[in-house]
Structure 1
């Protein structure tokens, strides 16, 4: 699919302006990226989804072309952002797909508003501090979690070196294979904008609040939405293990020889899992 088939709109939601890429027609599918990405993370899969679905891929709050908000980077607020985008587009329900930082808000939206989420796909992340990820965390969380969490530090010391920093994550997240040059350039441009790193690191600074939101909702209800958890390197099956005790309908997969940035590193392998799972709703 060429970029001319994708419309990018500014949509008011929950006190911000979200930059949202939209393509195709049919039942809505929302795609939520992580760090250090924008909606262009999904560039290799949108064209395969758009003939069957209305694909809605926002830049999350503070990322890409969306508002550099002062606050609201906890998963609960982000899930309300997504719900407002659906409202603005006249979509009562959607399948929701999240990776990395997009996973906790996708999870909370499905838990809090199961009437609006037909199916849930979550990838390469953890949901708060739920049990199940002990093996993955045995050596401690990834080093950048602590670095990003210190208020004001990362964005100060990285000023002028955003390109090198983003490139490190893109290389590590594809196990050295890299991402297409035009997508890499779009990511680098986005994160070199004023205040971009402060917003990105605010996701990590909000992790304690997000984890409490996850604990609270799991204490009240179960995950009833049909869910697929997909892992690769390095998270593997840790997310599936977290979800298994709280989910009524869960399937898990681990994609071999695949880096963290699944939609760009192994898009065909992702689509082989994603399309049948989403299409199950369309079978009479």
Structure 2
């Protein structure tokens, strides 16, 4: 039965050698939300309220992003999974439903694969998993152009200083089919990705991608994903993630949201909540203003 959620609060927690800020709201079984680039926990603003009627929502900033420590290393997804597990530990939660988008997806995947007792249900959206078969159509023209740009040490930071707003706005506009994101979220994202150290933290996720790809390959060679899993695609990833998951997942549900950009929670939160209601087995709808 839905209940009136407790108000949103920000908690500062230590996890796996870093500190991060975790937005919390609601009560009940935990649900962990993992964002991507160029986001902070605030990419989930539109869905936190509806989820908080049924769950204790935990939305941390990822390592090096937002209000998290700009760590020197540890940006591979196996270590990010340890960061996520440490957030649950710090907040007294033995397990959670886990929802992830973009850069948060490989970490959520490895957390569920290596520690299935910690992930009750898994929802992954708008990302691909290393070099696993199934995403050939998405990668047919090579990886997205910014993957290589971000991967070169020191280059992107040097080029972008003083132009962070224009650069981040390009992703926010492209990821919402030209609409852009609401002013509060835009301001939060621009602040979070301003300055050399903030950019370094962001691009460190890309520089760790080869390591992450090896980790994923090694993990699926010995494990299957047994956690009930939902794959949600939009533009541009579409069904590529689901295609990667099908051969290695015991229980997979697939959704592709039409007329939706990459930043699903801010572009089509209504459609996302429909898919999440199906995955989580609870009624979810956008909060009225």
Which ranges in structure 2 are unaligned for 5 or more consecutive residues?
Answer: 1-5, 283-289
Give distance in 1, aligned partners of 2:83 and 2:195. Answer: 22
Residue among 74, 77, 86 paired with 1:75: 77
Q: CA deviation at 1:276?
A: 2.7
User: Number of paired residues?
Assistant: 277
3-state DSSP of counterpart to 2:212: helix
Give distance in 1, aligned partners of 2:275 and 2:28. Answer: 19
Provide, for residues 48-94 of structure 1, a one-character-per-residue CA deviation record: whole Å limited to 9, x for no partner.
00010000000000001110100000000000000011011110110
Give distance in 1, aligned partners of 2:158 and 2:121. Answer: 40
Give distance in 2, aligned partners of 1:26 and 1:275. Answer: 16
Give distance in 1, aligned partners of 2:278 and 2:222. Answer: 31
Residue of structure 1 in register with 2:111 after alignment = 109
Give distance in 1, aligned partners of 2:256 and 2:109. Answer: 19
Scaled by the length of structure 2, what TM-score is found? 0.95
Residue of structure 2 in register with 1:235 after alignment = 237
Q: CA deviation at 1:277?
A: 1.2
Report the aligned-residue RMSD: 0.9
Q: CA deviation at 1:153?
A: 0.3
3-state DSSP of counterpart to 1:139: coil
Q: Is the counterpart of residue 148 in structure 1 residue 150 in structure 2?
A: yes
Give distance in 2, aligned partners of 1:64 and 1:145. Answer: 20
Q: Is the counterpart of residue 185 in structure 1 residue 180 in structure 2?
A: no
Residue among 126, 130, 133 paired with 2:132: 130
Give distance in 1, aligned partners of 2:213 and 2:254. Answer: 22
Give distance in 1, aligned partners of 2:46 and 2:219. Answer: 34
Which ranges in structure 1 are unaligned for 5 or more consecutive residues?
Answer: none
Residue of structure 2 in register with 1:263 after alignment = 265
Give distance in 1, aligned partners of 2:254 and 2:152. Answer: 34
Residue of structure 1 in register with 2:93 after alignment = 91
Give distance in 2, aligned partners of 1:194 and 1:139. Answer: 30
Tell me if structure 1 keeps the 8 A contact 2:177–2:261: yes
1:1-284 matches, within 5 Å, as 5-279=7-281
Give distance in 1, aligned partners of 2:7 and 2:159. Answer: 39
Scaled by the length of structure 1, what TM-score is found? 0.96
Q: CA deviation at 1:18?
A: 1.3
